[in-house]
Amino acid sequence: MLVSPAAAVAAPVLVTGASGFIGRHLALRLLRQGRPLRLLVRDAQRLDPELRGGAEVLHGDLRDPASLAPAVRDCAALFHCAGNVATWDRWPAYREANVDGVANLLRAVATAGGAAPARIVHLSTVDVYGYPRRPADERAPCDGGAFGYGRSKAQGEALLRERASAMGLSWCVLRPTNVMGPHSPFIERIGAELQRGLMLLVDGGRADCGFLYVDNLVDCMLWAETSPEAHQAVFNVRDPASVSWRRFVHDLRSGIDGQGHVLVLPQVLAEAGAQLLQGAHRLLRLRGEPLLHPLLVRMFGRTCGHDIARLRQAGAPLGAVPYEQAMQRSREWFLQRQSEA
């Protein structure tokens, strides 16, 4: 077990997944607020250096229930950000991280002894709706649809809601849309294609991209930790501004002087091409992710701008960093990363 520095006297806040994109931003915010902070990670070397130096770092793995007990014991609150967020993977890998991992974490809370967290904030996704044609609110069916990632996240959050409630724990489930900002896989991947590769727009990029700046998501996560309105509640989370994929791609491309090509396809052709490429990829047993597959077509061709009326009514902080500023920060980070490569 790696611990640095010694545990603080006050009960720490636990963050899982702090070596990932969202968990990193959340953990840094908590640390800079002076909160006692505990991080559960598989590889401490992947953490931001500031976190390695300022937080209590415990080694653990969601696949190993015994390794989780020291992390969950006597924590003030638990932010569960860890998970498999790959756009291309096999069902067993999704299930292991996003369903079994949640079960193991709750089992550790139940058996670790000491005080249980005052609230669990569980990071889910709007992918649980399975890419419907119209914006969904929290009452919509949420089985994840045709894709393994969405199905696994739907099952994981359902398990958390049921078991945490049975254990008498307070919980809140947040379903973010597409989270952007420095270190975002969206900014890194799409930026790389716009700079020198090929980017797809489906149906002219008319669909809402569900833009959510990472700092605005962190605001909502911290609100969910303490708000009475968040007790045993589920919320969609996105920024208030509606941003199409066309606008997003244009603004990112122009700001990084992108020389890549943008291919515009109607939905039916994009779907057919994705099925063909996916089938060939599997038939040939190729490694990595296909250039195009159905999940990507649905993401870019159907709305990700889901309804946030419930979040508004609950009084959560929304959109403190406006779209223009968020995009500028994202472009600056991408260009800096490219210059350091």
Tens-place pLDDT, residues 20-52? 999 999 999 999 999 999 999 999 999 999 999
Q: Judge whether 296 lies within some domain.
A: no
Q: Judge whether 272 lies within some domain.
A: no
The dihedral sign for the CA sequence 251, 254, 258, 261: positive
Structural domain tally of the chain?
1
Q: Judge whether 140 lies within some domain.
A: yes
Q: Judge whether 249 lies within some domain.
A: no
Q: What Å distances lie between residue 288 and 88, 139, 148, 285, CA to CA?
A: 8, 36, 16, 10
Q: What is the pLDDT of residues 114-130, one digit of tens each?
A: 999 999 999 999 999 99
**Averaged pLDDT for residues 190-218:** 96
For residue 24, the domain's CATH number is: 3.40.50.720
Please report which confidence band the pLDDT of residue 339 belongs to, taking 50, 70 and 90 as the band edges: confident
Q: Judge whether 233 lies within some domain.
A: yes
The answer to which of 245-254, 283-292, 306-315 has the lowest mean pLDDT is 283-292
Cα 219 to Cα 213: distance, rounded to the nearest angstrom: 10
User: What is the distance of C-alpha 17 from the center of its chain?
Assistant: 10
18 residue type, one letter: A
Q: What is the 3-state composition of the chain as percent helix, strand, coil, each rounded to the nearest 5?
A: 50, 15, 40
Asked whether residue 208 carries a pLDDT value surpassing 60, the answer given is yes
Cα 126 to Cα 128: distance, rounded to the nearest angstrom: 5
Q: What is the pLDDT of residues 53-80, one digit of tens each?
A: 999 999 999 999 889 999 999 999 999 9
Q: Judge whether 164 lies within some domain.
A: yes
Q: Judge whether 266 lies within some domain.
A: no
Give residue 128's domain range: 13-179+210-240+305-321
Mean pLDDT taken over the chain: 95
pTM, two decimal places: 0.95
Q: What is the pLDDT of residue 9?
A: 56
Residues of the chain above pLDDT 90, percent: 94
Q: What is the pLDDT of residues 135-159, one digit of tens each?
A: 999 999 999 999 999 999 999 999 9
Q: Judge whether 136 lies within some domain.
A: yes
Are 254 and 195 in contact by the 8 Å Cβ rule? The answer is no
Please report which confidence band the pLDDT of residue 2 belongs to, taking 50, 70 and 90 as the band edges: very low
Helix (H) or strand (E) holding 31: helix 21-32
Are 16 and 80 in contact by the 8 Å Cβ rule? The answer is yes
